[in-house]
Structure 1
Amino acid sequence: AIAKMDFIPNFFAVMFFLMFVVLGLGSNMGVVQAIMTSIRDRYPQVQTWKAVLAIAIAGFSCGLVYLTPAGLHVLGVVEYYGVTFASLTLVILEAVTFCWIYGVNRICQDIKFMLNIETGLFWRVCWGLLTPAIIIGVFMLQIFKDADEVPVGYTVFGWCLYGFTVVLQMIGWGAYATSKQPEKQLLDKVRSASRPTEDWGPESTAFKRDYDAAMQRYGESFNNSGNIVRRTFRRIFK
């Protein structure tokens, strides 16, 4: 359509493809910045240009797969299993950790400590019930949705990609965090790994002392008896 334009078609053709180049660069800036920040936080001695160069080479090498005759099939599989499924699974786990393990009630206590504001029931219901339920519902719809017709090998590759990016990472890092706990029994190790660390809280020493005192009062007032459903309910609505 651009080539058939009467007014400077070549100019608009160049601008059209330049738009895609700029769009691609802009889309990758956030991804590269997130990966580079993680590397620099973990290994501050690594120079920035070396980290960027390594990320660029790795991304370019992976992108060569999409230039093959079956590149569109691979792109669809990676997008379906490695992006959609992986993102929804991680968001569900994050919501469960945020709302049910750390607890909406403790989050509200943190907000009260920082801002001296009581969190209303609406936000508690949204964080504790609606958000996890909606995300899980979207995930279930994705599972039962008809996927694109691709050869069986691509489907197997997609599930392997999902297992590596989510399942193995979750199990591996969970086992690593659990093994680092000083407790003897396995269940005690899991509980200890699920609790905030000792240095969790404000960076200021004075604020940290007040925060620890407030959390101690909160812990003393929290009734931890009953089954897991009752304890989870109290973590949200107490």
Structure 2
Amino acid sequence: FGMFETMTSAFIDEFPHLLKNRKVLFTAFFCFIEFLLGIPCVMQGGIYVLQIMDWYCATFSLMLLSLTECVVIAWIYGTDRFYKDIELMIGFQPCLWWKICWKYITPVTIAFVWLFSVTQLSPVTYGKYEYPDGAIVIGWMLGLVSLMPIPICAILAILREKGSFYERIKKLVHHTDDWGPAVEKHRVRYLQSLQNSQESLDSVMCHLY
């Protein structure tokens, strides 16, 4: 349920004018698509299909996606801002332990596990059955297809911006004007906290320079 809700919410948040009032219909459509995609896994040779997916998707791409998420949230978006987001939702900030995990322990652990998995990676097998070369190619394609949207969307976003490469990157890593909670009262509190943080940062910079 968690993974399914993440996918549907991502589309609904990205296209609210088109899907917000059609959430039930869109969810039903998504369920039907995933039902069709799951049929090959329950047929007579389904275990071989499932083995390919598990071999190349669960170890290779999933770890890279998790590492990217940790780096973006902890080092680009910022743990302090993420703390404020959580505080807005639950009423208090998490303890310092979580910040240490997000910034250091979790990324290092994921990177270590991924590197170990890659160095030990061998062509997919199931028992004594060895897959043909075509099946191995399909496995790598399945593993890479979930990673491709990240560099593709990043390149498109950079190309659409104006200015030098550095100016484009600097603008893209900052939040947009419409970023924040959808509920108005929560949005006011959120923007106020951002303003206070920016004023504190400006004050520190003035004392430094």
TM-score (norm. length: structure 1): 0.64
1:46 to 22, 36, 47: 22
The 1:65/1:104 distance shift into structure 2, 3 A limit, reads same
Could you tell me which amino acid in structure 1 is paired with residue 192 of structure 2?
D
Q: Is the 8 A contact 2:180 2:191 kept in 1?
A: no
Q: Is the 8 Å Cα contact of residues 70 and 107 (structure 2) preserved in structure 1?
A: yes
Counterpart residue type for residue 159 of structure 1: W
Within the candidate set 190, 198, 203, 1:216 is matched to 198
CA shift, 1:88, in A, is 1.3
Question: Residue 79 in 1 paired to residue 79 in 2?
Answer: no
| Seq. identity, % | 22
Per-residue displacement from partner, 1:190-221 (whole Å, max 9, x unpaired)? 22111122344564365245323312124322
1:161-208 deviation line (CA, Å, top 9, x unaligned):
122111x21112112333443x32222112211112234456436524
Cα distance between partner residues in 1 of 2:107 and 2:60: 15
Contact kept? 2:41, 2:50, Cα under 8 Å: yes
Cα separation, 2, equivalents of 1:100 and 1:57 = 38
Instruction: Give the structure 2 partner of residue 169 of structure 1.
Output: 149
- Work out whether residues 40 and 48 of structure 1, in 8 Å CA contact, stay in contact via their aligned partners in 2: no
Residue 162 of structure 2 corresponds to residue 187 of structure 1: no
Asked whether the equivalents of residues 88 and 190 of structure 2 are also in contact (C-alpha less than 8 Å), the reply is no
* Alignment correspondent of 1:152: 133
Secondary structure of 2:154's match?
helix
Letter in 2 for 1:48: V
Larger Rg computed on CA atoms: 1
Residue of structure 2 equivalent to 1:61: 36
Shift of 1:33: 4.1
Cα deviation 1:65-105 (Å, max 9, x = unaligned)? 23555432221111222233222111100100111112234
Q: Residue 164 of structure 2 aligns to which amino acid in structure 1? A: Q
Q: Quick one: distance in 2 between partners of 1:151 and 1:124?
A: 45
Gaps of 5+ in 2: 126-130
Q: How many angstroms apart in 1 are the aligned matches of 2:74 and 2:23? A: 38
CA distance in 2, matches of 1:117, 1:86: 31
CA offsets 1:46-70 (integer angstroms, 9 cap, x no match): 3624641x33432233223235554
CA distance in 2, matches of 1:39, 1:124: 29
- Mark the CA change 1:48 to 1:132 in structure 2 (over 3 Å): closer, same or farther: same
CA distance in 2 between counterparts of 1:209 and 1:48 reads: 31
Is this contact kept in 1: 2:84–2:93, CA < 8 A? no
Aligned equivalents of 2:84 and 2:7: distance in 1? 32
Distance across 1 between alignment mates of 2:2 and 2:93 = 34
Alignment RMSD: 3.4
Equivalence for 1:92 = 67
What's the counterpart of residue 234 of structure 1?
none
